[in-house]
Amino acid sequence: MKSLRLSPIALAGILLLGVVLSLLAVRLNLFGMGSLSANLLGEAPSAPTNLVVNTLTETSASFGWDADASASEYRVYHNSTDSQPGSYTAVSSPAHSITYASGASNYIWITSVSSGAEGDAYSFCLRHPGAGGMMLPCE
């Protein structure tokens, strides 16, 4: 088995490239562009924050969350059980609506996607007990 040998010049070039990329990430972070530096380095975005439920009915809900400047899309997963489904709805803006059966539990996960990397999920569960009831957190 042959071993790979790099010349001192090649090693110095690799180290210099690493330093330049690190400095670029720090510089972008100093100017409030942390999400962009994470995007350039291929890191997944953080979970969406500050969910607001805009409308609630017995069979539908619409909600929004804070936009992430690095996100190219958001993925909204919706299921009637607490296991995250494999399928999702891709949305380009930080808002979405769902429909459901009256009295059903609704487990929802929202993720941000940047450069193909999917971030952690913001998850919540809502349940409407039926006519005249109010939306409740799932237990």
Percentage above 70 pLDDT, the chain: 63
pLDDT in tens, 43-52: 789 899 998 8
Q: How confident is the model at residue 130 (pLDDT cuts 50, 70, 90)?
A: low
Measuring CA to CA, how many Å separate 97 from each of 33, 53, 115? 30, 10, 25
Strands 117-118 and 105-114: antiparallel
Six token digits for residue 87: 């399928």
Of 3.30.70.100, 2.60.40.10, 2.60.130.10, 3.10.180.10, which CATH number belongs to 52-137?
2.60.40.10
Q: Is the pTM here over 0.95, yes or no?
A: no
Q: What is the pLDDT of residue 83?
A: 81
Sign of the C-alpha dihedral, residues 11, 12, 17, 19? positive
Instruction: Specify which of 7-21, 98-112, 121-135 reaches the highest per-range mean pLDDT.
Output: 98-112
